Structure 1
């Protein structure tokens, strides 16, 4: 159809010139409703092309109701959180990220009104205003919400979160305490909390797991701790008791024999009475609180000269690192720490300067031993009695002029030894 037929009705859709001089395009959607273009066009040909595009979308089965994306982002994101089986601390984190970092920018918009440039501008502004780790967490949440809207609910044509690497975190390396520092911290925390420090460092227990440990979970004969529940404390002070952080969190952890006396003393003097009595309680018998415990922890760190910012949770990091340096495999660390993925456990595969020195020492010993082992067969082949080797073809030689290899030594072994 040419530009001369401006008012002519088409078999599919129509184009008309408005009093303003611009052109309006409409078409009949599969739902039986007339669908106007969201904007007018400068030329008739541009409007005609838009109608043709919509016709192709319908014929190809790619047509999407333009009203489906008219869903408020805030309402959709809140519903997205409610519909997922999240742990209490994870849900609290998502709601905080949503309230502080996402809703101020996107809360008033519909899903289909948020485009890739909007996301890039939001991220740039957040990076200037707060930490990169928080921005990465917020971006991952935003991307997950939009991915559900795109893939599952089919409310938008494409996920606007397309910034490569924007959801990756690069947190600072967490500090690892020495054994002497752990023991000093245990002493500084006092006898009631001494064992809690030791279980964090030498058994890799999370604080929320220790909060729910009970007498019946401790088997002193087997030196075993049964981890079946956790009680994370929310920022409101409320504890939410339930299953551990992941399926791998339900586990049995064996503590080292060096804790025998401390475990026995704690069970006798400080644990709440009864089989289901909590292992760690305050002087009045109440479960420990993050606020009051945190004050004791900061004072203990200052007393022993630990650098500012060393967290109680870093003891778990220390414990997992000590386990790897003690010969634990990646799978061993995963089971002991209650990690469900290798990626999570890999952060404990530290290699300190001392560890690297031990590796070099062990390598030196191994190479020297192999060389000594290789020297003996060569000496034997050269003839330790002073006799010369037999000529080629003499006796039962292999054709190398050196005679048969010593019993139990293959040619591959000799090559490896040299």
Structure 2
């Protein structure tokens, strides 16, 4: 942002390319007078405001009174990804949930040009406190609010972004334990046989959950020992399937399959995968596309059984394979 400061206000060139006009009134109040597409128009508006103020006229901000509740939905509708694409439905759903549950109930009635750093600090401290959802959710909501307010500044709806609290957008990075090869094989041997290759693909191929759910037969080439990540699949809150490309261009990739995994994948494709080239590799108990909650249920059921569950499942897997 380039800034041309003058006594009593100034003209700022925003990252969007527009020019914002600001003025300081005779009583010391800092006001935003909106934005313009050209510097000349902004300079003209700035000069006019100085003349009106010298003539004793009251200068009112063009954007006073626009609340976060009014602005946030417009921001969400116009928001684009870094690649200039509309937000993915799942991301939009996530942002909408954060707004409805944690941001707008507390800050929605506050005008954008009146939202202070002190108010934001109190709000985020509550989210991190014992009555709030926790530090991770607080950091996510803070980052969303910061993005919204950054755009509001560009639009001339606020003079400054109040989200300047050091560390407020940082999530706690607890170290995640990495299972050993033996632990992966133990899990794969004891979970339901239908989900054995899910475990192996996640651990040894590095597939994300959405990539696992979106994998099709055509993406697996056993002869060449390769797997192509071409799409991902998620479910929204209504249960609708959201199928699309990987999150980033780098997410679309070809992966060499470990030789030890080929026999398991071949067995899985023969028994559990949908038959057509576009059929999904991983399916639920009724043969439909695998739903995230089904996989989560199997994982929870495995964990709840403890050692006895592991021993039982091991025998169950062995017997089922003999029958197959």
Instruction: Determine the structure 2 residue equivalent to 1:70.
Output: 65
Aligned positions of 1:217-236 closer than 5 A: 217-236=219-238
Of the two, which has the highest radius of gyration?
Answer: 1
For residues 70 and 49 of structure 1, do their structure 2 counterparts lie closer, same or farther at Cα, with a shift above 3 Å needed? closer
For residues 301 and 190 of structure 1, do their structure 2 counterparts lie closer, same or farther at Cα, with a shift above 3 Å needed? same
Instruction: Determine the structure 2 residue equivalent to 1:114.
Output: 115
* Secondary structure in structure 1 of the residue aligned to 2:94: helix
Aligned positions of 1:15-94 closer than 5 A: 50=28, 58-59=46-47, 66-84=61-79, 85-94=86-95
Structure 1 unaligned regions, length at least 5: 1-30, 38-47, 306-418
Of 119, 128, 131, the match for 2:134: 131
Q: Displacement, 1:238?
A: 2.4
Residues 152 and 158 in structure 2, CA contact (< 8 A), matched pair in contact too: yes
Instruction: Determine the structure 2 residue equivalent to 1:245.
Output: 247
The higher-RCO structure (CA 8 Å, 6+ apart) is: 2
Residues 213 and 232 in structure 2, CA contact (< 8 A), matched pair in contact too: yes
Of 126, 139, 145, the match for 1:142: 145
For residues 112 and 209 of structure 1, do their structure 2 counterparts lie closer, same or farther at Cα, with a shift above 3 Å needed? same
Q: Displacement, 1:254?
A: 1.4
Residues 216 and 275 in structure 1, CA contact (< 8 A), matched pair in contact too: yes
Give the stretch that moved more between structures: 232-241 or 253-262: 232-241
More strand by share: 2
| 2:202 is equivalent to residue 200 of structure 1 | yes
Of 171, 174, 180, the match for 2:173: 171
* Secondary structure in structure 1 of the residue aligned to 2:118: helix
Residues 185 and 197 in structure 1, CA contact (< 8 A), matched pair in contact too: yes
Instruction: Determine the structure 2 residue equivalent to 1:348.
Output: none
Q: Displacement, 1:283?
A: 3.2
CA offsets 1:257-301 (integer angstroms, 9 cap, x no match): 111110111111111112111111123221112222211111223
Return the alpha-carbon distance in structure 2 between the equivalents of residues 95 and 229 of structure 1.
24
For residues 49 and 224 of structure 1, do their structure 2 counterparts lie closer, same or farther at Cα, with a shift above 3 Å needed? same
CA offsets 1:376-411 (integer angstroms, 9 cap, x no match): xxxxxxxxxxxxxxxxxxxxxxxxxxxxxxxxxxxx
Residues 284 and 294 in structure 2, CA contact (< 8 A), matched pair in contact too: no
For residues 215 and 69 of structure 1, do their structure 2 counterparts lie closer, same or farther at Cα, with a shift above 3 Å needed? same
For residues 157 and 65 of structure 1, do their structure 2 counterparts lie closer, same or farther at Cα, with a shift above 3 Å needed? farther
Give the stretch that moved more between structures: 95-104 or 62-71: 62-71
Of 292, 295, 298, the match for 2:297: 295
Aligned positions of 1:289-328 closer than 5 A: 289-303=291-305
Return the alpha-carbon distance in structure 2 between the equivalents of residues 178 and 304 of structure 1.
18
CA RMSD of aligned residues (A): 2.8
Return the alpha-carbon distance in structure 1 between the equivalents of residues 67 and 230 of structure 2.
40
Q: Displacement, 1:65?
A: 5.5
Instruction: Determine the structure 1 residue equivalent to 2:316.
Output: none
For residues 66 and 49 of structure 1, do their structure 2 counterparts lie closer, same or farther at Cα, with a shift above 3 Å needed? closer
* Secondary structure in structure 2 of the residue aligned to 1:166: coil
Q: Displacement, 1:59?
A: 5.0
Return the alpha-carbon distance in structure 1 between the equivalents of residues 114 and 263 of structure 2.
64
Return the alpha-carbon distance in structure 2 between the equivalents of residues 167 and 287 of structure 1.
36
CA offsets 1:185-206 (integer angstroms, 9 cap, x no match): 1112222111111000000101
Return the alpha-carbon distance in structure 2 between the equivalents of residues 122 and 114 of structure 1.
11
Structure 2 unaligned regions, length at least 5: 1-20, 33-44, 54-58, 80-85, 308-324
Q: TM-score w.r.t. structure 1 length? A: 0.57
CA offsets 1:56-84 (integer angstroms, 9 cap, x no match): x9459999961314312112111111112
Return the alpha-carbon distance in structure 2 between the equivalents of residues 288 and 130 of structure 1.
30
Residues 188 and 304 in structure 1, CA contact (< 8 A), matched pair in contact too: no
